[in-house]
Structures are given as structure tokens and as C-alpha cells.
Structure 1
Amino acid sequence: MSNAGHRLLWTVIALLLVAGGAGALTASLGTLPGADPAAVLLSAELVDRWRRAAPWSTLAAAVAGALFALAGQRLLARELRGPDGTLRGTLSHPGRRPGRTRLATDVLADALARDLTGNPGVRRARVVLTGAPPHPDVWIRVDLTADAPTAGVREHVRAAVRRFAATTDCQPAHLDVTARIEASHP
């Protein structure tokens, strides 16, 4: 789901909760037209139906509550996943002929990280893509061995980024490379 879709979803949820709270407040204050503030919230007939359906009514309420809690937990976990601004979803480019090419951004980041670790001096690599798909920001962290030649690694990173730009048709708007050298073992 896109960022706009998430904002719309959270706005709808917030408006429903505010409307429900405002309705309950106006009913309790007696300002709701046709509602008596001294009247009970649930009618005797509704309470009687609830009691006749016991224990199934209680079970149904518990299951509905558990489903709402699970849906809320999954929605919140999805919102909190990944670094802020991480490019999620698919990268889509129009083709020369009718149709589009769609690639998962996680796959692209993993492919660039694998390409970077092809150099013997690079022990680990981590890649994060942020920003707009045609010109994403590329954040790279490479962990180098103590004996890695920095000039060779620098050229390897440049070549990997050039290959990434050529294969994805995305020229990075910003490239940030952090290199950490591991301490040599005695």
C-alpha cells in the first residue's frame, strides 16, 4: 500500500473513532435529538436477547474483539516496519512496447548488496533505497576486511552502482557510501 493509501486508511479509522466517541458523548449529555439522558443505553429487549444467546453471544463478542485486535496489530506492525522513508512496494517503469516492468525494491537492494560483496575485500554490505523511484537515494554501508585496498573497493562500489543504474534505469539522486574497516585479528 502506498503512503497516500496508509494516510487515507488511518484518517478513515480516526474519523470513525471520533464519530463514535462524539455520538456517545452527545447521547450521554442528552443533546442527541430524540434521546432521553435518563434512559438506559441498551434496551431491555436487547439485553434479553443477549442473555438468551449466552454463551454464544459472549463467544462471538470475544472472537470479534480478538479479530479487531489482530487486524490493528498487523496494521500497526506494517506501519512501523523498515526505516523511515524506505522505498517499499514495486519500482515500475513503462516499457518501449505496451506494458510495464515491475520490480520489488527489496529485491533490488538485495541484488546491489550481493553485487557489492563480490569483491574479496568487502565482508558485508547493506543497501537502503529511499526517495522517488526514477531517482532514488541510495544508502550503502560496506564492512571491509583490514587488508582491503581502498582504491580497489572504491572502484568496485562505483562499478556496482553504475550496473545498478543501468539495469534498473534509475539514476541515483543521492549516493551515500559508508565504509567500515574491521580490525585485523592478531
Structure 2
Amino acid sequence: MSDAAHRLLWTIVALLLVVGGVAALVVSFGLPSGADPGAPLLGAGLLDAWRLAAPWSTLAAAVAGVLVALAGQRLLARELRRPDQELRGTLSRPGRRPGRTRLATDVLAHALERDLTGNPGVRRARVVLTGAPPRPDVWIRVDLTADARTAGVREHVHAAVRRFATTAGCQPAHLDVTARIEPGRP
């Protein structure tokens, strides 16, 4: 999932929580004008249906709560894990003749970082490889100087990724590039 998708997902979760909190606040202050403060919040028909299915409705609410809690736990676990923990060790590719070529993934990542910092507009680069070895996901973060030309840096990053794919013998399944511009005079 890209950084933009993560931000969108967390924005939606935050908005749902804010709407729920505002609704609870409005109800607690009794602000709906013309509403009877002693009236049930859910309405008489829904309240009767809840009471009619008494043991099962409570069980269904508990199961729904547990499922929502598990989904939240999985979401947080995916957000808090470090992406470089998935692909460790070596990238092993069968050769044309008997034998295998083995490359350490940290060596590949450092080589791509060195290639990326070859452009004068790129101050620093960080590369993380995740996923399955034949088609790894490539996560790149580049820190640009304030006077860097973004079009030139973009082409440089794409050329470096093409060289990486050719050298490593594997095409990235997913490429995520984040560029940060250092503050200063443009």
C-alpha cells in the first residue's frame, strides 16, 4: 500500500471516529431540538426488535465488537511493522547453467542508494526491499536539495530503478518513491 493510500485510510478512520464522537456529544447534551430527553435513542421499533432477539442480539454485538477490534489490531500491526523485516538474506536466482546466483538484499539496497545519490539534486536516499524475491517491492525515499529540478531527479530515479532491475535480474512488483525537499531558498 502506498503512502497516499495509507493517509487516505487513516483519514477515513479519523473522520468516522470524529463523526461518532460528535454524534455522542450532541445526544448527551440533548441538543436535537424538539426531541424528548426520555425517548429511546434508537427508536421504538428498533428497540423492540433488539429486545425480541435478546440473547442473540447481544451475542451479535459482542462478535461484531471483537471483529472490529481484530481488524483494528491488524491494521495497527501492519502500520507499525518495519518494512525491511520481510525480505532478508539473499536473493537467489537460478542460472542458465547448473548453479545459482545469490545476492545479499542489503547489498542490493545499498547499491541502489549509491546510484540514486549520484545525482547532485539528491542529498540522501533510503531503499527498502520487501515482498517475494523474484518480484520484490521497492520502497525509495529521496531527500532532495532545495534547488533540485524535480523532472531531472524523477528521470534519474526511474533510470536507477531500471538499472537495478537489469542488474538484479528481477523486476519490481511495486515501486513507491517518496521525495522530500529540504527547506531553503529555491
Superposition TM-score, scaled by structure 2 size: 0.54
Partner amino acid, structure 1, of 2:155: E
- Secondary structure at 2:102's aligned position in 1? strand
Matched, 1:121 2:124: no
Following TM superposition, by how much is the alpha carbon of 1:129 offset from its aligned partner in structure 2, in angstroms? 0.1
Q: Is the 8 A contact 1:86 1:128 kept in 2?
A: no
For residue 185 of structure 1, report the CA deviation from its aligned partner: 5.7
The 3-state SS of whatever aligns with 1:143 is strand
Distance 1:185 1:150, change over 3 A: closer
1:87-125: CA deviation from partner (whole Å, max 9, x where unpaired): 100000011111100010000000000000000000000
2:88 matched to 1:100?
Answer: no
Aligned to 2:171: 171
Q: Is the CA contact 2:84–2:129 (under 8 Å) kept in the aligned structure 1?
A: no
CA contact (8 A) 2:84 2:128 kept: no
Quick one: which amino acid aligns to residue 161 of structure 2? V
5 Å matches for 1:32-111? Answer: 83=83, 85-111=85-111
Which amino acid is the alignment partner of residue 143 of structure 2? Answer: D
Q: Which runs of 5+ in 2 are unaligned?
A: 1-80
Task: Judge conservation of contact 2:147–2:185 (CA < 8 Å) in 1.
Answer: no
1:142 is displaced (CA, Å) by 0.0
Q: Distance in 1 between matches of 2:174 and 2:182?
A: 26
Q: Which runs of 5+ in 1 are unaligned?
A: 1-80
Q: What letter matches 2:109 in structure 1? A: A
Contact 1:141 1:179 (C-alpha < 8 Å) held by counterparts = yes
CA distance in 2, matches of 1:84, 1:123: 22
CA distance change for structure 1 residues 113 and 84 in 2, over 3 Å: closer, same or farther? closer
Where does 1:8-19 land on structure 2 (aligned, <5 Å)? none
State the AA in 2 paired with 1:168. A
SS in 1 for 2:125: strand
Runs (4+) off by over 2 Å:
81-86
Instruction: Quote how far apart the aligned CAs of 1:83 are.
Output: 3.9
Q: Which segment drifts farther, 130-139 or 85-94?
A: 85-94
TM-score by length of 1: 0.54
Q: How far apart, in 2, do the equivalents of 1:97 and 1:122 lie?
A: 40
* Distance (whole Å) between structure 2 residues aligned to residue 184 and residue 155 of structure 1: 23
Q: CA deviation at 1:82?
A: 5.7
Is the alpha carbon distance of 1:169 and 1:84 closer, same or farther for their aligned partners in structure 2, counting shifts above 3 Å? closer
Q: How many residues align?
A: 106
Structure 1 residues 180, 164: closer, same or farther in 2, change over 3 A? same
Percent identity for Structure 1 against Structure 2: 86
Q: Say if 1:145 and 1:82 are closer, same or farther in 2 by CA, change over 3 A.
A: same
Provide closer, same or farther for how the CA distance between residues 84 and 129 of structure 1 changes in structure 2, counting only shifts above 3 A: closer
